[in-house]
Structure 1
């Protein structure tokens, strides 16, 4: 197989992989620089409207004319015919005689990404509301202990010294805050109050 054909074959494999990886916003093009009038031999994720058989771009022609042209140009600004901005990368492939015979070019539609970025910025935007300070979190067993101790402290008592009426009121407060729906809540409350599980069930009812 001629060296040129071998390079183009391998370039096509790379183009397929890149196109699948970055679909649908990254166009991948393989150019045959030995045939500038019909340079495009493969185009995937077509966003430029070009076709196989179309001629080389100005950059491709420059690469053909200048052997010292850089092997790769990365992330340079480009623009489609409809005005969309794209980010382009061009990689030149040389043969054994150090001549450019092919190129792989990537064109990323950054207008699509910029639109997504604007959406994400709007979605994540927050504002401070005067007088509002809130923290949202799921209740935990530690909250049961804290609520009971705060309740008892407000009455200058130890949790174990609360009377029946206070215990009923305490249980109502725990239920109102959803703390009694936590796993192990009965055991936790009975331990802090120093009373039996059956007594806690009685207060709950």
Structure 2
């Protein structure tokens, strides 16, 4: 092993220890005649050992001289002899003349993470379908239920639908608008609630008898 490469052995140990057993760290030596082989390796997940030859990737690097324009290549996919796909990165080690004399390669087995990601993606897609319908579906849907906090909220909602305000105005309101509000409340089943007529009479500042008359008018219209 060339002296300059020897200084990278401790770095290989450090990276292998830090990144964990699912990450292979390899030190390759390259001679002047482009012969390449592994001179040091930790956490061998590819099955390779010291003395194993260089890869086709390394041959392409030597052929294209890509190492002359960059110091490393990160996050490319490699495949082990067992078919396992790895996330790989390589650092180019050069001599004083900027010639490639070695490579420090990191190959990470992310198969477990990919399976976890796939599982999480499927789970999130399922949850999204339940919790958050597609936007066009939301637009197409009509609200079937309003979660009101009190009887007053029901009245306020009906007033807003007709008059565009939540509180019944102090000024004169036309009978047709009052009837429209009562009609909406009737459709909601509001008058099935206890004290509903009393609440509406208070909101309208009218007598309960007048509210009952409005209800009777609406019932007659429905029967027609």
State how many pairs are aligned: 129
Give the deviation of 1:120 after TM superposition: 5.2
Give the RMSD, CA atoms, in angstroms: 3.0
Give the deviation of 1:102 after TM superposition: 1.1
Stretch moving more, 5-14 or 99-108:
5-14
Within the candidate set 37, 40, 56, 2:38 is matched to 40
CA 1:123–1:62: 2 relative to 1, 3 Å: closer
Preserved CA contact (<8 Å) 1:25 1:108: yes
CA 1:102–1:11: 2 relative to 1, 3 Å: same
Give unpaired runs (5+ residues) of structure 1: 132-205
User: Radius of gyration: which is bigger?
Assistant: 2
Aligned residue runs from structure 1 range 1-205, under 5 A? 5-34=2-31, 37=35, 39-69=37-67, 70-118=70-118
Higher relative contact order (CA 8 A, sep 6+): 1
Give the deviation of 1:90 after TM superposition: 0.8
Alignment TM-score, normalising by the size of structure 2: 0.49
Separation in 1, partners of 2:40, 2:3: 15
Separation in 2, partners of 1:116, 1:14: 30
Separation in 2, partners of 1:72, 1:118: 30
Preserved CA contact (<8 Å) 1:7 1:102: no
CA 1:116–1:68: 2 relative to 1, 3 Å: closer
Q: For residue 187 of structure 1, what is the aligned residue in structure 2?
A: none
Alignment TM-score, normalising by the size of structure 1: 0.53
Give the deviation of 1:60 after TM superposition: 2.1
